[in-house]
Structures are given as C-alpha cells and as structure tokens.
Structure 1
Amino acid sequence: MKKDIEKDIAFIAHYYGYEAQSRQLIEEMAELTQSINKKWRGENTGLYRGYYDDMKAITEEIADVQICIEQVKLLLGITDKQIESVAESKIIREKSRIREARRKTIS
C-alpha cells in the first residue's frame, strides 16, 4: 500500500479504535459475502444483474474489507510477516490435501 494511504488508515484506525473498527470489519465482511452470493445466485437462477454490476459491487466490498483489515492489524499489532507465515503454512497444508484427494480419485 502507498505510504499516504497507510497514514490515512492509521489515522482513521486510531481515531475510532479497535472496537468500532473491528465491528466495521464484521459489517464489511458481511457485505462482501452478500455481494458474492448475489453474483452466484444471479448466475444460477436466471436473475443475473450483469457482470459489470456484480464485479463492481464485489470490488468495492473487497476494498472496504481490506481497509478494515489493515486497521485491525494495526490496532492489534499484527504484522504482514506474521500473516504471511501463517498463510504459507495453510497453503502448503491445503495443497497437500488436494494432492491426497487426487491420489484417492485416481486409485
């Protein structure tokens, strides 16, 4: 993220504090879930609003979630390095599960 944006995120995070921003994150995650579900439901029920509208809504909600995640990380002192380490181990574990599932399917 750009330095100016990081400063703005820190300013907002410290102004509102952890409780408010963690609750905001929950709300934004729910809105992202809803926009993803609307796209899926529309594609599978014939009530499709349109690719552009769905992608715009999903993109906006992802941005909102990312902003709130950055604020919560900052307020809790969680570093990118910590997250990357956990993410790497989770990815390795999931790849192992997929390989095992493929082996079972083939045999």
Structure 2
Amino acid sequence: MINEDLKYIADHYGLEHQLGKCKEELVELIEAIDSLDERAIVEEIADVEIMTEQLKYLMRTEPSVEIYKEYKIARQLRRIAEEQSHECDN
C-alpha cells in the first residue's frame, strides 16, 4: 500500500510526468546493474520501486498488478519443477 507522501508526490506531478520519470529510473537501474556497483544498484532499485508504487496508485492498478505477480510467480515455479523433473529423467 502506498504511503501518503508518495500519493502527494504522484498527485503533484501526475501520470504523464511520472511515466517519463519511471522510464528514467529504469534506465538508471540498467546502468547500475551493468556497472556491478552494489550501492548504485540498491539506490536505483529504491528509485524504481518508488516510481512503480506511484504508477500503480495513479493508474489504480494495484489489485491487477498483484494478481499478475501471483500468476507469474506460480508459472515460474511450475517451470522450475518441470526443469527439475527433466533433470531427474536424465
């Protein structure tokens, strides 16, 4: 659940601006990952999480995002189980 400070920030800037800002933060996270600088990666993860929380709030999509997350996690767990099953067959 988003906190009141993030709601205030999101409402102040609006969806269009924050979509652009999120893209900037995602690029910065990619650059940090490429650098392998742990501190930079951690900082950029925080920025991306802040932005995605604001987008979910502004777009009123948090319940849908949670459903997709649960589905995607379950799908990946099934894939891992299938991989392990194939490894046991060999």
Which of residues 33, 36, 47 in structure 2 aligns to 1:36?
33
Q: Is residue 18 of structure 2 the alignment partner of residue 18 of structure 1?
A: no
Q: How far, CA to CA, are the matches of 2:86 and 2:29 in structure 1?
A: 35
Q: Is residue 78 of structure 2 the alignment partner of residue 105 of structure 1?
A: no
Normalising by structure 2, report the TM-score.
Answer: 0.87
Q: Which amino acid aligns with 1:38?
A: S
Task: Structure 1: state its 5+ residue gaps.
Answer: 40-53
Indicate the structure (1 or 2) with the bigger Cα radius of gyration. 1
Q: Is residue 48 of structure 2 the alignment partner of residue 65 of structure 1?
A: yes
Query: What is the deviation of 1:88?
Result: 1.2
Alignment of 1:41-52 (within 5 A): none
Partner of 1:84: 66
Query: What is the deviation of 1:34?
Result: 1.1
Normalising by structure 1, report the TM-score.
Answer: 0.74
Q: Percent identity?
A: 39
Q: Is residue 1 of structure 2 the alignment partner of residue 9 of structure 1?
A: no
Q: Which amino acid aligns with 2:20?
A: R
Query: What is the deviation of 1:73?
Result: 0.9
Q: Which amino acid aligns with 1:100?
A: E
* Moved segments of 4+, more than 6 Å: none
Would you say how many aligned residue pairs link Structure 1 and Structure 2? 89
Query: What is the deviation of 1:105?
Result: 2.3
Task: Structure 2: state its 5+ residue gaps.
Answer: none
